[in-house]
Structure 1
Amino acid sequence: MQRCLDFWYGLTGRGRVALWLMLTCCLAVCLWWIAIRPPEKRLTQLKSDRAARQLTLRQHYLKTHALRPPEGLTESESARAFSPLDFAPPHASLTRWQPALHGGELELAAQWAQAVATFARLAEYDMVVRGFTLEPEGGQLRFTLQLEAANDP
């Protein structure tokens, strides 16, 4: 310990300042190396991960964008809201409607030709027929349909 103090006191004022500045700079470089450099590496890694995720998301977006309907569709071409009251006498007469959570049971009295056309009309409303029964009833058919909305699970 005595040697270090002898060395320090043996230096001139300028030598002490120069040595002090050199030690301070070395300490600053060491602190930079320890404290700042690892977060910089982590930041670089995070940036590369972000770029990879953006590329993946862009690819998923392009896939889902291809599944969207064309933008030129008008309101009349898209699916209309379903209403059992639309099955009026020119097409068939509504006998009974029992609503359910995602659809319901529709009972119609119709001729055979109107019963066949009912499926096409339900497709316009974006409704799926899960089951149906046909029974003759006094010159007409009693047509019972179990319906479910196509966009519901």
Structure 2
Amino acid sequence: MMLNPDVWFALSLRMRVFCWLLSALCALVLLWWLAICPIKETQIRLVTQQQQQRTQLRAQWQKLHALVPPSDSVALPERLTFSPLDFQSQGRQLVRWQPAQGGGELVLETGWQAVAETFSLLTARGMQVPAFSLMAGEGALNFTLRVEQDNAN
């Protein structure tokens, strides 16, 4: 069915303005219903998703925060200073000490029981033993050690 333009021009000015306003209002309602309403629903869905992610993130942060070590520092045992005279004790006798840069050569006369103890004493004093030798001597072992400072700590 074709609209006759004479009908439009036959209407009064007030009626034509009313029809224009009514058609503009219908177009705005249609625009709101098709474009703006779905956007609001999407926005509401995104806001709830964001709130869920915040709660998950907060829970993860609390788990990570629990992994942080306590602020009180753990007291480390004090390292004893190295002195070759410390090896002049029961079962060991200092024969010679030849100092070198960062260490030196230590020669002891010792028994078998004191060999393992010598290594632990050197470690407690921050020294490493890159090389050593044991040779049988007169009534005791000649224990020669090359010692160096432990730079790892």
Q: What TM-score, normalized by structure 1, do the two folds share?
A: 0.52
Superposed counterparts of 1:1-150, under 5 Å: 3-71=3-71, 73-74=72-73, 77=75, 88-90=81-83, 95=103, 111-115=118-122, 117=124, 137=134, 138-139=142-143
Bigger CA radius of gyration:
2
Q: Which runs of 5+ in 2 are unaligned?
A: 88-98, 105-116, 135-141
CA 1:140 to 1:112, structure 2 compared with 1: closer, same or farther past 3 Å?
farther
1:54 alignment partner AA: R
C-alpha RMSD of matched pairs (Å): 4.1
2:118 alignment partner AA: Q
1:63, CA displacement in angstroms? 0.6
2:143 alignment partner AA: G
Q: What TM-score, normalized by structure 2, do the two folds share?
A: 0.52
1:58, CA displacement in angstroms? 0.6
The number of equivalent residue pairs is 115
SS in 2 for 1:139: strand
CA 1:139 to 1:56, structure 2 compared with 1: closer, same or farther past 3 Å?
same
1:36, CA displacement in angstroms? 2.0
CA 1:58 to 1:2, structure 2 compared with 1: closer, same or farther past 3 Å?
closer
CA 1:2 to 1:139, structure 2 compared with 1: closer, same or farther past 3 Å?
closer
Percent identity over the alignment? 26
CA 1:59 to 1:2, structure 2 compared with 1: closer, same or farther past 3 Å?
closer
